[in-house]
């Protein structure tokens, strides 16, 4: 009997490992198009807010980065607990739901929590998996998108960088350093309130059990760091990648960080070529952006350029 039990246990374990390996090998995309509709964009955004709140999410904030786009940042306790499971996991605490006007059509899209959980190397992903199911139920699941022909698995995302010599997740921009977590928070709040670097506060999410807080930051500068400047040059596919926005500032203890833009932009749009594309959307078009974004966020955090 004991032998049979051992054999059954071994078979179950092997099946679980096989299933885990299978999931790890599945391609994941950063965004999901929930549905398309027509009408007034603000009315659609209000309806979407109601849907995500009814699904158990908290609306952490929202903003309009440019005409025809509304970004709604959401979170819940399970996503926060996932974020608390890993160092710098706070980047994944805020998911984005977007309403984008494209011609006469309105696209309702959202970030894929499982994509971000792996891109940001979370140890626990159960909250992300549940959040994805909730978003699909609340907002629909027309199609996943955002990587083009590239097939990125969970394993790929956990070691992702765009190309040789470019930054990984653990190569962030170091914006400022303070004596304490409280001092760092106060400095970022002050910088956002003053609009330094052209930044505006979209949301703030505190990570439970850690001296860690993530801020969603809109960038309104008309130059290389601006949301509209960047997206007008790289977001030209039929289905828009508006859920890429906003950028994040992460306060961890007394240090203030941001994901370096060559990672942060590429992880949202890994299919974009460096130089040439059919739509004209390339990273070459925003070569000035990574340094400009870093400088804007340093100003916001009260650091030194």
Question: pLDDT (tens digit, 9 = 90+) per residue, 31-72?
Answer: 999 999 999 999 999 999 999 999 999 999 999 999 999 999
Percent of the chain with pLDDT over 70: 92
Hey, how many other C-beta atoms are within 10 angstroms of the C-beta on 47? 13
Question: What does the alpha-carbon distance between residue 238 and residue 257 come to, in Å, rounded to a whole number?
Answer: 33
Q: Which tens digits make up the pLDDT trace of 153-184?
A: 999 999 999 999 999 999 999 999 999 999 99
∠89-235-99 over CA atoms, to 5°? 70
Question: What does the alpha-carbon distance between residue 251 and residue 11 come to, in Å, rounded to a whole number?
Answer: 45
The answer to whether 139 and 28 have CB atoms below 8 angstroms apart is no
Q: Which tens digits make up the pLDDT trace of 219-270?
A: 999 889 999 999 999 999 999 999 999 999 999 999 999 999 999 999 999 9
Inform me whether the pLDDT recorded for 93 exceeds 70: yes
Which tokens belong to 305? 């350029």
pLDDT-derived band at 4, boundaries 50, 70, 90: very low
pLDDT-derived band at 276, boundaries 50, 70, 90: confident
Residue with tokens 């709604």: 72
Entry pTM = 0.91
* Short-list 98, 86, 225, 76, CA closest to 169: 86
Q: What pLDDT is attached to residue 24?
A: 56
The answer to whether 34 and 135 have CB atoms below 8 angstroms apart is yes
Q: What pLDDT is attached to residue 207?
A: 98
* Short-list 118, 147, 109, 143, CA closest to 266: 147
* Short-list 275, 281, 247, 282, CA closest to 261: 247
Hey, how many other C-beta atoms are within 10 angstroms of the C-beta on 275? 8
Domains of the chain: 28-301 (3.30.310.70)
Better-scored residue on pLDDT, 305 or 295: 295
Q: What pLDDT is attached to residue 11?
A: 42
Q: Is 256 helix (H, G, I), strand (E, B) or coil?
A: strand
Number of DSSP helices (H) and strands (E) in the chain, helices first: 10, 11
Q: What pLDDT is attached to residue 7?
A: 44
Using CA atoms, how far residue 132 sits from 51, 81, 198, in Å, is 14, 15, 32
24-33, 38-47, 293-302: which has the minimum mean pLDDT?
24-33
Residue with tokens 């974020």: 83
Q: What pLDDT is attached to residue 275?
A: 87
Question: What does the alpha-carbon distance between residue 111 and residue 4 come to, in Å, rounded to a whole number?
Answer: 45
């Amino acid at each position: 009997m004991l032998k049979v039990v051992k054999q059954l246990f071994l078979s179950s374990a092997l099946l679980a490992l096989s299933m885990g390996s299978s999931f790890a090998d599945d391609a994941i995309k950063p965004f999901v198009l929930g549905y398309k509709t027509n009408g007034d964009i603000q009315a659609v955004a209000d309806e979407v807010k109601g849907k995500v709140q009814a699904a158990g999410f908290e609306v952490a904030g929202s903003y309009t980065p440019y005409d025809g786009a509304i970004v709604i940042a959401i979170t819940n306790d399970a996503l926060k607990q996932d974020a608390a499971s890993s160092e710098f996991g706070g980047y994944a605490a805020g998911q984005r739901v977007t309403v984008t006007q494209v011609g006469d059509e309105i696209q309702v899209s959202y970030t894929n929590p499982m994509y971000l959980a792996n891109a940001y190397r979370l140890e626990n992903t159960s909250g992300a998996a549940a959040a994805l199911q909730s978003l699909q139920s609340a907002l629909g699941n027309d199609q996943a998108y955002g990587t083009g022909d590239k097939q990125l698995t969970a394993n790929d995302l956990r070691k992702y960088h765009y190309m040789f010599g470019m930054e990984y997740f653990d190569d962030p921009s170091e914006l400022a350093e303070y004596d304490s977590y409280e001092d760092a928070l106060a400095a970022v709040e002050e910088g956002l309130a003053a609009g330094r670097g052209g930044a505006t506060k979209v949301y703030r999410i505190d990570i439970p059990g850690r001296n860690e807080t993530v801020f969603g930051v809109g960038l309104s500068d008309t130059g290389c760091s601006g949301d509209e400047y960047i997206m007008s040059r790289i977001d030209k596919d039929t289905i828009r990648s508006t859920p890429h926005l906003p950028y994040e500032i992460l306060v961890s203890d007394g240090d203030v960080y941001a994901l370096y833009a060559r990672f942060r932009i590429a992880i949202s749009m890994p299919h974009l070529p460096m130089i040439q594309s059919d739509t004209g959307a390339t990273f070459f078009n925003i070569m000035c952006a990574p340094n400009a974004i870093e400088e804007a966020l340093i100003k916001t955090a009260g650091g030194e350029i």
